[in-house]
Structure 1
């Protein structure tokens, strides 16, 4: 494949140069000393190759922008002696003042094109240098090729080029072509000698109320005009009583990101010096009417990132965590202002200086709150901007708590693996302009050191922290046995005994003080909407709504092997619900199973799964629940037999089975897979029903994960390889079932799954697909039977011998919808019983429940209803019917026994 280089035309013909798509582009370094060459050789940028051959030193890549970006990363190093942590500050009469710097190299790039490619034995060279004998002799000497192998093509002279530079470019193109073995285009030269810095001096004072009174801002390029009359008038987005802004940059070399870096770093300094929250301080200085779109964006990003939450802990005492915020507003050449806000979470290794950006929550918006359109910042821009600020090659992808294929707000970042393409070059865009400031502010939060110029390389961070290791070495671990090991040594039988003996001696758990119910306006509409989705994934209303009762008002009785447990009131009623719960109290209950007043919750409430939820999702769920109508309703108290009625015993259970900590994504898996596992194991708590439990009621994991369990007297079938389903669950079948309540290969959602599907049906398709994708990955379906093969399989005559009574009942009551060839479809979908999971299960309970009670509340309206026959057939007839169904539609499975007694049991416990 070839392409026309329209920007370059041959001098004689005037036609564009035709070159292969595989051609590489080179940015050549000039004035490179030994130290610079050494740093260049050590620089690792995916998709970019460093070549030093003879007198030519260059970065080569598939696009010129990538090669130039690598070169600028090398050159954009602050001037020695002007360390960012200790720049001198000019004196002023204002309370706060600081200086910042931003490295510039855009004016040091000199375009100069030359192209070399191999055409058989010939070396074709396009150049603006004359095809002189001197150039030819230099090429022969540099390559060892004979003079007859070179063919010269002259480029047009529309672009003035220095003759010496054009000659050097021609030489470089040929030598680089020889090294890479393919076509190379030299795009230009970058000189470290011309690199400069923009400097910023900012000062401000606050009045007695803590509001900005004076604001002074100066930006200059050393050696520029020095003429203040040419200053720009951009005063920034924040209100102050007296403002002055001067920018001496006649050539427009200072990028917007540099101004944002200086302004947002300084605002952060002022806020922290005055013990003010950096986000709240900014909001206090944005106009509530004219900038309400900006305020809505900041609120949403702060809530999405769970700003102000508990500090992140790490076991490594050398690692410190920090969070930083930055905001930008552009008004130039736009009818409505555009906004961008970033929150960065990072870790700093105080011994090595390495900085790891873990997460970025970033969004953009324009205009007023109602008129604007808020969206997330694309992952490629986030990766590019963070890479540039840190001098690393990073990748970004939506966080595990983001819906796939949506415009994500939160992203997880990591070092780019060798197989990853390089991040996109940072363009001058408001989307990415807050990046450097947010990272610098996070670095200050982590280390207490203010970095006043990018890039924040490990060498500069380590130097600023003095590389002191003495205070960060952890104390030696004392030898001790964990509680889990101690209990294991004593056997499971000792667990209850140990807990019973210790619980009276435990200090009571401190209650968390009640608060006044927060107003719904405390949170953004986007956060409340997200909280509704989290609640639907968690099926909150399914368990916390009694029959005929108000939604989430509690009172539903849950049958457990230990007795009846009644669900609590989740509405924001201060007397009987959670209206006086702070977020800290709610978070503790969700992650640790401890109520606001300090008593333990029984693990029928799946806090063992909810502990995996992200803090942002937990915040959104709290916001949603607090924004709903308050309902005063006191559910029946849960009363279990002794000693299970002693709630403090749950502490021993938690010590064994509660594994706290948010979900950690698997970096080797896809974003969709991680999103699916996060939903399945976290808010969705699927294993709570679909995994077996031990004698103490804890889920069995490992190889027994998702191999089948029970819920409210129903069998929750296995979803993995040991499933009794005639056809194995595939990703598409799982998606169909979860999204619509019906899979032609498995049947209709009934019992406890019906309301679960009713919730999932309202949620984003990509999230439900992610759940199906993850669950399907747990099984190998390569040799699974085809649905048509199973459906067409017929039992032999011996199998059906003596089942005439059951056959007559089936033909009279069931065949109209469930004939072997499919029913008439008058009542919705027509499940084939040969493919129905309930017919192939090891117990008849699910099938008996459906036949007796019917399906009067289908998951979705499209499924239709099924009448119940509990009043039409007695237990003997039920047994005959079920025996016939099992023998006809699951002939390879063993007959069920004691069906009459099973029918009586199901009839007795119907609810």
Structure 2
């Protein structure tokens, strides 16, 4: 029910959490009263006082469900009076026509022992007051009226609320009434038979609204699925049956046929959609399936929670030239003990076009929430999933039970976009429980009752998977027994078998949308940055990465079957990305950040695989990584994984905004930012907790802290982070150089909303800081230094650097004008980053707008470099301790330049 407000003040109506909800019955007869009194439903009470008869419960949907069972006394789960088709498979479904049986109205009564407070949209005139006095016997002075802002004006609800409150006390909200004389339901009889090859031979579909028409049923279009013989009859002259009801019956039954014949429900549908007439529909279904990673590894039931996934599809032919389609995939959990159904995710797409699909878009979150709420009989909210770009038309949504303040306003959902909802949920319920639900809503009471009477068994967790003993391993490591620890860890994390090679999939296997999404993920992950050698082909591998343990060479990611991943199945690719184990079973070194990639969603992993497999194959065998003994024994990485690899997809924080969750997903997952910006322990594992993002190293460069302990003169703000990530330059922090430049080059091509989400998340890791004025900070630092004994460095700076880097900003001959007093490299604990930039310059800026910086390695020797850097440190970071042994540091940087 919508959130209610007082009409005059606009303030919300605040009532106790123990308030009861009532569904009133009208136009009742003695037989119906007898059935109502005899109905036994947990948590639902039948109240009959005077002329008021109602079911009362803690939730309105429970009260309405009880009323509907009494009014539709044939019972949604009872056998229907339909003729037997004589075909191989036959099933019957029911759809309650709730717009005719239930009329919403709102009135609230509260009784404190002396006075009755009544909230109603009916004007509190003498007529209403007289009826209340007559119904209750209370004097007129005991009533207090409050105007309620609702769309309906119902005297019936107001009187019923007061009568019920006299019987029950406390607070009662009448949410609507149900009329026995208007009660209707649509019934469906669907039957089919298959030929020897498993294709549809016969298809029969009959839909009726009993008691509405005695006319013969009219023949209609038999639906989207091809069969040799088809028959479709619709007895609905008043057009009471909505599209959602037809989709529910048809899509539930086609799913039932597929599962009973051990066929994948989606593949079975695609096999029966004409490849020419339904080419657009097939493309939509494939794209939605790829986005949801349909057909991935099954998720096992745990702790009494069953996981299920269901699919449903619908078409709309109001315009014969451009039919519209909608496809839904629902993931849900079922609590077998309580019957509660939790829809976790909905992937829903819509598009139009018969033989060529137009641009696919997502179904709006409000429509998804409304349709799922109706099917389950409770209020839900939806928001884009963490792997969706904020602000874009999302395809994937995460759902949750709505809090009182989040209850959405009523929304019309008889749209083609939402019509597959009930069928997709019912099919997911069957996948989870083995029970076929043939009538919505799927309330906890109905689900629990069905499960209690079902012999369907749960799928247990796989047998024989060893548990990891993390704590004992860490204790042994602390004792210094590294060899014993690694040996023990290897027994707990056994070597993996190879995965059989496959023929390289064709690019046409995936939709254009999936490949485009995969390209974005590759840019977020900076795949080409590490997997492209200088002068080499993109992603062909061969780049040498300096690590504390030795040089590690990157592998070939192109789909070449000999030297790349062209013969890798998705399962092999996914295992390498999440567990660090190659297709042939050998362990990858953790220089490859699989510890971050394990957090990626299955849909994003599928898209990345599709993108890489669709790129040109390049035959290139990179140099072999040869680390010293015992690090060259890759089996030892199993022990490292047992200690430090935490598998599992990213789980969004429901208390945080969608933007924050999206940012963390990108930063900690595909972006693997902490791989460079967090310190590492003696075994090369990232240090988390309070040390997360506090600074690390990458390829010989210092990766500065991004949180509160940063040495930067001006603390990072969300806007500064966004500017730096998107353009490679921040007035408060300088220009992206070194390994960060190609990272920014990738991010600059990605959606602005995603980069903002990353900045938003990283900024949230530090306390809010006031925005400083860069020039003022720079001037204060410059005035604080006495330039004694720094003449050599000053002369070099004035001749080579001041034109761009004067204290107040240079003329920008080559691009932007960074202020050195605000540059992070100048304030760092070590001079390495500053020396690298001065010696090598920036000949490949992150973005074209930045211009370039010349290098001076051939202009100045190490002594001159030391004098220059000493001057820059003293002048632009006077509050920091002077760097020592700068000539030696310059020689070291010069020697390892690459």
TM range (shorter): 0.7 to 0.9
Choose from 259, 262, 281 the match for 1:272: 259
Q: Deviations over 1:154-174 (max 9, x none)?
A: xxxxxxx9xxx9875785699
Aligned to 2:795: 808
Contact kept? 1:89, 1:98, Cα under 8 Å = no
Q: Deviations over 1:407-453 (max 9, x none)?
A: 11111111223432236434211111101100111111111111111
Aligned to 1:746: 733
Deviation at 1:567, TM superposition (A): 0.2
Aligned to 1:533: 520
Deviation at 1:489, TM superposition (A): 2.4
Could you say what the CA RMSD is over the residues aligned between the two structures, in angstroms?
4.0
Choose from 292, 295, 310 the match for 1:324: 310
Aligned to 2:186: 198
Asked if 1:29 is matched to 2:46, the reply is no
Choose from 363, 370, 388 the match for 1:384: 370
Choose from 742, 750, 769 the match for 1:782: 769
Contact kept? 2:555, 2:564, Cα under 8 Å = yes
Counterpart CA distance in 1 for 2:834 and 2:321 is 64
Contact kept? 1:487, 1:495, Cα under 8 Å = no
Counterpart CA distance in 2 for 1:51 and 1:822 is 81
Structure 2 residue runs of 5 or longer lacking an equivalent are: 1-6, 14-20, 110-116, 147-151
Contact kept? 2:118, 2:158, Cα under 8 Å = no
Contact kept? 1:393, 1:423, Cα under 8 Å = no
Asked if 1:216 is matched to 2:204, the reply is yes
Deviation at 1:262, TM superposition (A): 0.3
Choose from 796, 818, 827 the match for 2:814: 827
Contact kept? 1:573, 1:632, Cα under 8 Å = yes
Aligned to 1:5: none
**Change over 3 Å in CA distance of 1:675–1:55 after alignment to 2:** farther
Aligned to 2:692: 705
Contact kept? 1:129, 1:167, Cα under 8 Å = no
Q: Deviations over 1:736-765 (max 9, x none)?
A: 110111111111110000000000011111
Deviation at 1:42, TM superposition (A): 6.0
User: Which stretch shifts more, 215-224 or 741-750?
Assistant: 215-224
Deviation at 1:275, TM superposition (A): 1.4
In the TM superposition, 1:88-237 aligns within 5 A as 90-109=83-102, 138=134, 141-142=137-138, 144-145=140-141, 168=156, 171=159, 189-191=177-179, 194-229=182-217, 231-237=218-224
Counterpart CA distance in 1 for 2:707 and 2:38 is 56
Aligned to 2:472: 486
Deviation at 1:301, TM superposition (A): 0.6
Asked if 1:619 is matched to 2:606, the reply is yes
Choose from 397, 416, 420 the match for 1:411: 397
Deviation at 1:828, TM superposition (A): 1.1
Counterpart CA distance in 1 for 2:11 and 2:783 is 65
Counterpart CA distance in 2 for 1:908 and 1:166 is 86
**Change over 3 Å in CA distance of 1:313–1:791 after alignment to 2:** farther
Contact kept? 1:351, 1:469, Cα under 8 Å = no
Contact kept? 1:362, 1:410, Cα under 8 Å = yes
User: Which stretch shifts more, 575-584 or 281-290?
Assistant: 281-290
Choose from 226, 234, 239 the match for 1:239: 226
Q: Deviations over 1:145-189 (max 9, x none)?
A: 399x999xxxxxxxxx9xxx987578569999999xxxx999974
Counterpart CA distance in 2 for 1:114 and 1:286 is 50
User: Which stretch shifts more, 782-791 or 812-821?
Assistant: 782-791
Structure 1 residue runs of 5 or longer lacking an equivalent are: 1-17, 45-49, 61-66, 152-160
Counterpart CA distance in 2 for 1:500 and 1:133 is 84
**Change over 3 Å in CA distance of 1:428–1:76 after alignment to 2:** farther
In the TM superposition, 1:455-470 aligns within 5 A as 455-466=441-452
Contact kept? 2:531, 2:540, Cα under 8 Å = yes
User: Which stretch shifts more, 829-838 or 184-193?
Assistant: 184-193
Counterpart CA distance in 2 for 1:678 and 1:188 is 43
User: Which stretch shifts more, 712-721 or 107-116?
Assistant: 107-116
Asked if 1:693 is matched to 2:693, the reply is no
**Change over 3 Å in CA distance of 1:331–1:473 after alignment to 2:** closer
Contact kept? 2:381, 2:399, Cα under 8 Å = yes
Counterpart CA distance in 1 for 2:529 and 2:821 is 30
SS at structure 2 position matched to 1:240: coil
Asked if 1:602 is matched to 2:589, the reply is yes
Q: Deviations over 1:375-425 (max 9, x none)?
A: 111111111111111112211111111111111111111122343223643
User: Which stretch shifts more, 356-365 or 79-88?
Assistant: 79-88
Asked if 1:436 is matched to 2:422, the reply is yes
SS at structure 1 position matched to 2:781: coil
**Change over 3 Å in CA distance of 1:674–1:794 after alignment to 2:** closer
In the TM superposition, 1:350-429 aligns within 5 A as 350-368=336-354, 370=356, 372-422=358-408, 424-429=410-415
Counterpart CA distance in 2 for 1:421 and 1:801 is 69
Counterpart CA distance in 2 for 1:146 and 1:542 is 77
Deviation at 1:208, TM superposition (A): 2.7
Please give the TM-score of this superposition, normalised by the length of structure 2: 0.87
Contact kept? 2:201, 2:229, Cα under 8 Å = yes
Deviation at 1:689, TM superposition (A): 0.2
Aligned to 2:628: 641
**Change over 3 Å in CA distance of 1:89–1:573 after alignment to 2:** farther
SS at structure 1 position matched to 2:518: helix
Please give the TM-score of this superposition, normalised by the length of structure 1: 0.86
SS at structure 2 position matched to 1:419: helix
Contact kept? 1:125, 1:174, Cα under 8 Å = no
Q: Deviations over 1:35-79 (max 9, x none)?
A: 6999999699xxxxx99999668999xxxxxx9989756645595
Choose from 652, 675, 694 the match for 2:639: 652
SS at structure 2 position matched to 1:29: strand
Counterpart CA distance in 2 for 1:668 and 1:370 is 42
SS at structure 1 position matched to 2:405: coil
Aligned to 2:748: 761
Aligned to 2:825: 838
**Change over 3 Å in CA distance of 1:126–1:312 after alignment to 2:** closer
Counterpart CA distance in 2 for 1:504 and 1:138 is 82
Counterpart CA distance in 1 for 2:467 and 2:434 is 37
Contact kept? 1:77, 1:103, Cα under 8 Å = no
Asked if 1:858 is matched to 2:816, the reply is no
SS at structure 1 position matched to 2:892: helix
**Change over 3 Å in CA distance of 1:268–1:125 after alignment to 2:** closer
Asked if 1:716 is matched to 2:711, the reply is no
Counterpart CA distance in 1 for 2:49 and 2:883 is 80
Deviation at 1:373, TM superposition (A): 2.6
Contact kept? 1:541, 1:551, Cα under 8 Å = yes
Contact kept? 2:61, 2:378, Cα under 8 Å = no
**Change over 3 Å in CA distance of 1:123–1:402 after alignment to 2:** closer
**Change over 3 Å in CA distance of 1:314–1:272 after alignment to 2:** closer
Deviation at 1:473, TM superposition (A): 12
**Change over 3 Å in CA distance of 1:190–1:37 after alignment to 2:** farther
